[in-house]
Structures are given as C-alpha cells and as structure tokens.
Structure 1
C-alpha cells in the first residue's frame, strides 16, 4: 500500500500539472503524434486501429464515458485530468506487481527490492504512461499481473487456470494483438508438460478455448469481415516498417533498448490534421548524442545478459527472456514501428527489473559481489533520476510554448 501511494503521489503530481495546465493529453484537433508518437485522441475515442488493438474500443469506451460523466460532458481540463489520473493509478499498480514479484517470487531482501523498484519507477516508459491514456498503459499492468500470476503457479508447480488463460488472452491480446502470444509462453514451462499427454491436452484445450473466445469477440467487432483485417494489417506493416534515415543499429540501441529507460534529446516537427485546418508542433525523441547514455544502456544490457547466464536453468527467467525476444523479433528484426519503438515499452519493459532481481538472486551467497552490483545500481538510479527529471522540465517548456 505504501509503495502504491508513493507512486500515485509521485506520478499523480506530474499528471495533475500537465492535465490541468496544458491541452496535450487530449485535444480534439490533434489526431495523432502530439508527443512521442502517442495517439491519445484516437485511443480515447475509438480504442485505436482494430488491426492492432482489436478489443480496446470496448475498454476505452468505458473510460471515456466515465471521464465525460465526471467533466459534465465537456472535453476540458477535468476530462484530461480523469484520463491522466486513471493512467497514474494503473502504472502505480503495475509497479506494485513488480515489487510483489521481487519480494514474493525471487524473495530478495527489502532494500534490494526497493532499489530495483526505484530504478524501474524512473524509466521513461513509466513516466510517460503515468499520464498518457494509451493501450500501452493498460497493457503494462495486465502483462505485469499475468506474469506474476503465471510465475507463482509455475513456482508452486500448479497449472494455469482456464479462466486466467481466457482473461489474459482477451485483456492482453485485446489491447495489442501480438501480445496474446505472451499469455501462452508460460505453458511451455509447466512441470513435466511434455512428458504427460493429459497435461498437453489440457494446455491445448485452454489455449484453444481462449483463442476461440478471442476470435469470436474480434470477429464481432469486425462484423465478421476478416478480409478487412488482413488488408489493414498489410497497410500498417508497410507503413510502420519502412527504413528511416537513422542507422538501423542506432534505432535499435537508442530507441528500442534505451528509449524506454533513458530520455534522449528531443526533436520538434510540424504536423497538421487530415484536412489541414489545424497545424501543430509534435515532439519526438532523437538518438543519443553523447557517450554517457550509450554506456549507461550498455551496462543495463550487460547486467540483464549476465542474469540470464547465471540463471540459465531457471524456468521463470526463460519466460522473461522469450517474452522479451518476441518484442525484439517484432520491432528489431521485422522493424515494425522501430523508428518510434520507445513508445512500445509497455509491452516488455517490466522484464528489465525482474532480470535485475534474478541477477541479485544468483549472487545471494556472495556478499561482496552483491554489494558491488547494489552500489552500481544505486549510482545508475541517481543518474537516471537526474537525467529524466531534466528532460521532463524540457518537456514542460515545450508544453508551455505550444500547448498552454
């Protein structure tokens, strides 16, 4: 409860300030990309494109209607504030799930769990999503919950239930269709599943049932016009996977790996709505321009890789690794949305603190190494806090100039 309240106050103050004073969170004239390529208006009004977010319209209809009820049916600062505070509560709850995993699954000492949580809580993804009404905001919560639940079941050598599989598929896959795969990854690691035909049959039945429920709800939204989904998917892939001017390695390093953790410099572009009746400024992240951020992200990746090697026999670690590698495949290899991959952190960023937790676990009997890692992480936490706070003040200046 204290952790939840701490993050609600921390993120909530930022969310309140932005929603109360600036129109960036929701402006009916801004269709997309107002800041960092988030499509707030589209998500709030329609749930986003059905080809990527198949069931999110049902979800966001409820949130929008509630916010309008509170604001007296006006799209004003009260409306923005309700949307932003929903995001604050959701990201704070997601952070609680991370703490529960560190505390209950890995069973780290409290001071280590709190340090990892502080480090994670300062990530770009958490800061941005804590005031942004987006599918990624809720995806991060649902993935964190399901990951904790499935880890608990595997640790206790129990099966994942029918209900959890169905709800996971609908809520996680419904918000972003590719994430449905992550609901099924833990089945690969249930105890002796490949040596027992009954267990295999039950797992297949759970997955098949959840897929049937998901597909039925999805087709219902499409009015059973599946060809439209295929056409839209092809359009979206062509649009979001084209190579950009930035070198591929730097897009992967600065935006996919780094952009979800550490803010970089910003770049401002001129945008307009479809009929060119409203012109506005949009803010994007540039690649890193100094050596320090590159070194910082390299340290994070080294610690994660070190964790995997030290825990290569651990099923729960491999669930995290496969989950993360799936996003590497989608964004870095297939290059879907790679040029703005810093917005996709809600799909995988929870893996970072958990792998760091397993790294500490692997050295639980070696006090000196544990102390060295703890000291390094403490320094990194201070650096990420200073860097991201400074960049947020620059973000405020952008809002003050263009979105007052």
Structure 2
C-alpha cells in the first residue's frame, strides 16, 4: 500500500466521511463549542494563573497546561502540552487572557467532538447499526458528564479519550479484516496513549491478543512479541530521557502518589464505586464547595463531587450496568467485545480493587466511558432480529437519556452558579 493511500485511509478514519458522520461532528462541536465559548470568555475558571489545581472536580488545568502534569503518571505529556500552550499563546498574542482560555477550550472541544465521532463511526461501520440506533446511543454518550466537562477542560484526560477512541476504532477495523496491527501504529499508540497516562499503555496491546491464529503459530506469536517489544523499548527510552535516566524517581514518586490517592476512608468503598467510578462519569452527583489554597498564600474555592443523595441515580447506574453485563455475556465469543471488556477491567482493577484515586475516579472517566455506548451497541446488534427486545432497549435508553439530560443540565446550572460567585 502506498504512503499516500495510507494517509488517505487514516484521515478517512479520523474525520467525517459521510453526511451522517458530518452531522454528528457538527452538532457536537457546536454544542460543546457554545458551552466552552461562554465559559472561556465570561469566567476565568478554565485557566487562572493563581490556581494550579482543583478549582473544579479535581482537574489540574493550569498545572497541566504549563507542565503536562506529573511525570510518573503522565510521562510524555510535557511535550504535548508545550505545543498546546504555545499554540494557544500564539493565538492570544502571548497573553493568558480570555482569548487564551478560548483557544484551550476549543482545542478540548475539537478533541471531544472527534472522540464522539470515533464512537459513532464504530457503531455505524463496525457494529453496522442503523443510523437511528447509532444516533440514540451517540446522544446518550454525548451528554455524559465526562464529555461535557472535558469539552472545555484542558487536561490529559481530554486528549486521552480522543486517542483511546481513535485507536480502539482503528484496531477494531484491523481485527474485523483479520489483519495485524503494524509495528508503527503500535509504537505510536504506545507513545501517545501511554505518554499521556502511563497505565493506558496496556490497552494498546490488548487487540494483539485477538489477531487471527496468534496462538496457533510460533511465527505469529514471535511477530507479535517483536512488535510489542519494539513499542515498549521506544516508550521506555523516551520516558527515561524525559527524567534524564534517573529511573529511581519513578518508583519513589509512584509510591507517594499511590499512598496519597488510595487512602480515603470517609466514604464507603461501594458508594465511591457507584457514585464516582460508575456514576460520576455519566450522571453528575451532588456538588460540594471546599476551601483550597495554592501553597503560596492564595486561598480559593473549589467544587468537588459528592455521592448521590437520591435512590434514582443508583437505579440508573444499576440498569446501565445490567445492560453492559447483558451485552458482554450475550456477545462473549465476539473478539471486539472482549477487547472492550478487558480494557474496562484494567480500570476496574486500578480504581476499584487497588483503590487508586477511587474518591476522585470521576475524573478518570475518559479512560473507559466510551466502552458503555459500544457495548450497548453490541447489545442492540445481538437482538437485531428481535423487534420486541430492540424496542425495549431503545425505550429504556431513551428514558435514561431523558433523565440524564435533565439531571446534568440542572447540575451544570449549579456549576454556573459556582462560577458566578467565585470566578
């Protein structure tokens, strides 16, 4: 295949290639863009030079924009955010003003809108769902709290969601065509996805497990091992170069971070899993205003999420979880479903079993929220010849979508009230 054709195929995957895909992309970029435009121009919460972290929902906006975040969790994001920051400063004529905030918001908007597009392409082109079902699921996904927040938030998670959805779509195409993931794609995936959040690098290698005849031939197994090894070597060398090959720093900082983010006992574990890990990424829970300071004498107000106070959100999350499990067991022999669930299982182990950042796991939603609409898509697909079951699923998702839209709209009005008071 010629280089020109490879570029063409890549851009065809990346951008809209049909009228329905273009409609989805335009709808969300305008929807999220309007929200980000208003917040960026009228409020300083997206980027305030005095506030490095936690102004809303534990996002580290200023810290991430200026430094890319901590090297032990986000090893190569420093380089990525250098480009983002410099481009935003170029647009704002070197000032961290409203134009600078608007540029950051629109970069985020573009990344999230393209993420939504990747999920829609998967539903339409990989699962082969009709546009009506794909549109319902993409609306459902588009109004998740994670997508709403990240659409104007300059964070690692914003771009992680885009890269994960893009790579997942790309690898699904390869598996469906019974083709191997090229070494170059694997290496780029490892460097970009793992570079923004190190734990996600494992997800880059999951699709290789489902390549055709992988375990039936030593040649195929060896070929896969070489591709994985090459990707790991490139990533490790770049990572070590980032910290001047002082590898002991990685272990020291990782231990400190684990202790810091894994010892919260004020909330029962089951409720943190339900309200933060499973729920907070989709359905906004209650909000709490807290006092914070930047360790240099400046005090400010921060907004964080609390657990659900009503039984209805717990029912909402339970229904959604039942549907996800239903889809998994119904499509257990489907390689693409296994890729999605293994990817999700990695986050379950990190946050729910190891309890890393469980009390703030709603901010990690970008690592796995795209799994929900895709598994729901496979559930619809498995009942494509059962009209009554399809109608039941469509009606249930529509009711969940209505409740989620009303809930998230109401919570966003609280968010604007918070900004009006303090930002």
Q: Same fold (TM over 0.5)?
A: yes
Distance (whole Å) between structure 2 residues aligned to residue 335 and residue 356 of structure 1: 27
Superposition map of 1:324-343 within 5 A: 324-343=344-363
> Residue 135 of structure 1 contacts residue 175 of structure 1 at CA under 8 Å; is this kept in 2?
yes
Superposition map of 1:114-193 within 5 A: 114-193=135-214
Which secondary structure does the structure 1 equivalent of 2:302 belong to? strand
Q: 1:382 aligns with which of 402, 408, 412?
A: 402
Report whether the alignment pairs 1:110 with 2:154. no
State the partner residue of 1:401.
Answer: 421
Distance (whole Å) between structure 1 residues aligned to residue 303 and residue 286 of structure 2: 10
Which secondary structure does the structure 2 equivalent of 1:269 belong to? strand
Report whether the alignment pairs 1:312 with 2:332. yes
State the partner residue of 1:286.
Answer: 306
Distance (whole Å) between structure 1 residues aligned to residue 99 and residue 270 of structure 2: 42
Distance (whole Å) between structure 2 residues aligned to residue 90 and residue 243 of structure 1: 32
Which secondary structure does the structure 1 equivalent of 2:25 belong to? helix
Which secondary structure does the structure 2 equivalent of 1:280 belong to? strand
State the partner residue of 2:319.
Answer: 299
Q: Which runs of no fewer than 5 residues in structure 1 stay unpaired?
A: none
Distance (whole Å) between structure 2 residues aligned to residue 181 and residue 364 of structure 1: 33
Distance (whole Å) between structure 2 residues aligned to residue 313 and residue 205 of structure 1: 27
State the partner residue of 1:202.
Answer: 223
Distance (whole Å) between structure 2 residues aligned to residue 382 and residue 335 of structure 1: 32
State the partner residue of 2:104.
Answer: 83
Distance (whole Å) between structure 2 residues aligned to residue 302 and residue 168 of structure 1: 31
Distance (whole Å) between structure 2 residues aligned to residue 208 and residue 142 of structure 1: 21
Q: CA deviation at 1:243?
A: 2.7
Q: Deviations over 1:143-195 (max 9, x none)?
A: 00110111111111110111110010000000000000000011111111001
Q: CA deviation at 1:244?
A: 2.5
Report whether the alignment pairs 1:272 with 2:293. yes
Distance (whole Å) between structure 1 residues aligned to residue 372 and residue 90 of structure 2: 38
Q: CA deviation at 1:219?
A: 0.8
> Residue 103 of structure 1 contacts residue 109 of structure 1 at CA under 8 Å; is this kept in 2?
yes
> Residue 244 of structure 1 contacts residue 339 of structure 1 at CA under 8 Å; is this kept in 2?
no
Report whether the alignment pairs 1:65 with 2:65. no
Q: CA deviation at 1:202?
A: 0.9
**Structure 1 outlier segments of 4+, above 3 Å:** none
Which secondary structure does the structure 2 equivalent of 1:395 belong to? helix
Q: Which runs of no fewer than 5 residues in structure 2 stay unpaired?
A: 1-21
State the partner residue of 1:371.
Answer: 391
Q: Deviations over 1:62-118 (max 9, x none)?
A: 000011111111111110000000000100000000000000100001100000000
Distance (whole Å) between structure 1 residues aligned to residue 88 and residue 196 of structure 2: 20
> Which deviates more, 111-120 or 386-395?
386-395
State the partner residue of 1:93.
Answer: 114
Which secondary structure does the structure 2 equivalent of 1:369 belong to? helix
Q: 2:377 aligns with which of 350, 354, 357?
A: 357
Report whether the alignment pairs 1:243 with 2:237. no
State the partner residue of 1:17.
Answer: 38
Distance (whole Å) between structure 1 residues aligned to residue 175 and residue 29 of structure 2: 31
Q: CA deviation at 1:213?
A: 0.5
Q: 2:65 aligns with which of 32, 44, 48?
A: 44
Q: CA deviation at 1:382?
A: 1.0
Q: 1:223 aligns with which of 244, 248, 251?
A: 244
> Residue 97 of structure 1 contacts residue 145 of structure 1 at CA under 8 Å; is this kept in 2?
yes
TM-score by length of 1: 0.99
Distance (whole Å) between structure 2 residues aligned to residue 290 and residue 232 of structure 1: 38
